[in-house]
Amino acid sequence: MNVRFLLALTLTLSLGACGFAPFGGVIDYVDFVKWSGIEYTASFASVGRPLADADLGREYFRVKQTLATAGRGISYQTQDGDAAFVPTGEPVYALRDYAPTFRLGARHDGRLVLYEVLTNPAATRGRDLFDIEGKVTSIEVLDQKRNTTVIGHIDEPARVGQLVELVLDATVGGPGPIVPSTGVRPPPQFVTLAFQLRDGTAVVRGFDLTTSTLTPNITVPNPFREAVATLVASAPTPTPAPAHVDLAVRYDLARALSVQVKRPDRPGPQPARSVAEWSSALDVEMPSRRDDGPQTGDIVVIFSFPDHYVSLVYDRSTSLIRVAVPDDELIVTATDAFRSLLDRE
């Protein structure tokens, strides 16, 4: 895996990728570790309990190099023992109830992080990637905005067991997209699935109903796809966009720890003025609508919280603000106060 792939992964792991889209030559890594040729990324699960010290088993390896501080170029090929953010010399642990080819745990920035396999060159079947046989209590479809609300689920034990076996026996890679009898391939349809486990944790993966592919690259049989499609078809209709929205109140921006601004003409995110000023600039009821067009914008304002961030993308040509994270698909017109802060930064 090279650095360019890590950048692409940062943009495609929607469900909470670590790091931000790069501007210029700045490298923003996805949170990963690598050992024995297997690449693991931090779990972006927004459901299930977090990893705890009691889950940790034996030390599996120690980090040899922290790429976020190593100054490697974009063409660097990652090696065993590399990590994005886990400090050099820190241990990475196997987990008590799972194969180390599936899950690991490590600490950085004062927290314990769960890592799950992204790629394993030796994997040919789903069970080579997922150690979940006999451990799944339910399979859920999550909402596409925050990935925290269950909009459909299967929890009948025999049915869950059958579907899990389909995943475990499925081919890694697989034959490619499903083409209907008309010969016309439908547009992609992605959903987020959560496999709730007996220990209270969850495995969250994207699933492409068009190709019947489960992230990272498992092509599952049609019965699994049909079961998921049935859940999606019976899901409630999404709530329409509010007529007006106060971004500061909706996302509790006054409680953010810091604000950073990323511009295309400057390297990396730059610390901004006080949280209170930025929150106040957005503390007004603004007409809102759904983002139904191409995603545009050149300035990103990031409100950082202890466990998440809120990212607003501003388009100077239209004065529109798009809520990029969380993915609420909301667009508002920037306030004069917001534009004034950007001019002063």
Q: What pLDDT, in 10s, does the model give residues 263-301?
A: 887 766 677 778 999 999 999 999 998 775 555 678 999
Q: What mean pLDDT comes out for the span 72-95?
A: 94
User: Measured in whole angstroms, how far is the alpha carbon of residue 42 from the centre of its chain?
Assistant: 9
Smallest CA-to-CA distance from 80 within 24, 135, 121 is with 121
Is the domain of 74 the same as that of 177? no
**4 contacts 22 by C-beta, under 8 angstroms:** no
pLDDT number for residue 11: 34
Instruction: Provide, rounded to the nearest whole percent, the portion of the chain with pLDDT above 90.
Output: 63
Q: Is the pLDDT of residue 5 over 60?
A: no
Instruction: Give per-residue burial for 197-218: e unless 16+ CB within 10 Å, then b.
Output: bebebbbbbbbbbbbbbbbbeb
Is the domain of 183 the same as that of 290? no
Report the C-alpha gap between 329 and 324 in whole angstroms.
7
Counted domains in the chain: 3
Q: What mean pLDDT comes out for the span 327-342?
A: 89
Band (pLDDT 50/70/90 cuts) for residue 324 is confident
Smallest CA-to-CA distance from 45 within 136, 118, 116 is with 116
pLDDT number for residue 24: 41
Q: Is the pLDDT of residue 321 over 70?
A: yes
Is the domain of 77 the same as that of 3? yes
pLDDT number for residue 238: 63
Is the domain of 213 the same as that of 273? no
Q: Is the pLDDT of residue 314 over 80?
A: yes
Report the C-alpha gap between 52 and 111 in whole angstroms.
10
Tell me which of 237, 272, 300 is where a domain ends. 237
Is the domain of 201 the same as that of 255? no
**60 contacts 92 by C-beta, under 8 angstroms:** yes
Is the domain of 199 the same as that of 266? no
Is the domain of 82 the same as that of 189? no
Q: Which domain covers residue 218, as residue numbers? A: 123-237
pLDDT number for residue 75: 85
Report the C-alpha gap between 208 and 295 in whole angstroms.
21
Select, from the ranges 2-16, 19-33, 68-82, 287-301, the one with the highest average predicted confidence (pLDDT).
Answer: 68-82
Indicate if the alpha-carbon torsion angle 41, 310, 245, 263 is positive or negative: negative
Report the C-alpha gap between 335 and 287 in whole angstroms.
11
Helix (H, G, I), strand (E, B) or coil at 131: coil
Q: What mean pLDDT comes out for the span 117-127?
A: 96
**225 contacts 272 by C-beta, under 8 angstroms:** no
Structure-model confidence comparison of residues 172 and 327, the more confident one: 172
Identify the helix (H) or strand (E) that includes residue 277. Answer: helix 275-281
Is the domain of 20 the same as that of 74? yes
Is the domain of 169 the same as that of 212? yes
Tell me which of 86, 120, 154 is where a domain ends. 120
Is the domain of 233 the same as that of 274? no
CATH number at residue 271: 3.30.1490
Tell me which of 194, 217, 237 is where a domain ends. 237
Q: Is the pLDDT of residue 22 over 80?
A: no
Is the domain of 303 the same as that of 331? yes
Contacts of 241 (CB under 8 A, 6+ apart): 288, 289, 290, 329, 330
**317 contacts 335 by C-beta, under 8 angstroms:** no
Q: Is the pLDDT of residue 196 over 50?
A: yes
pLDDT number for residue 20: 36
Is the domain of 111 the same as that of 149? no
Band (pLDDT 50/70/90 cuts) for residue 27 is low
The amino acid at residue 230 is: T
Instruction: Provide, rounded to the nearest whole percent, the portion of the chain with pLDDT above 70.
Output: 83
The answer to whether the pTM exceeds 0.85 is no
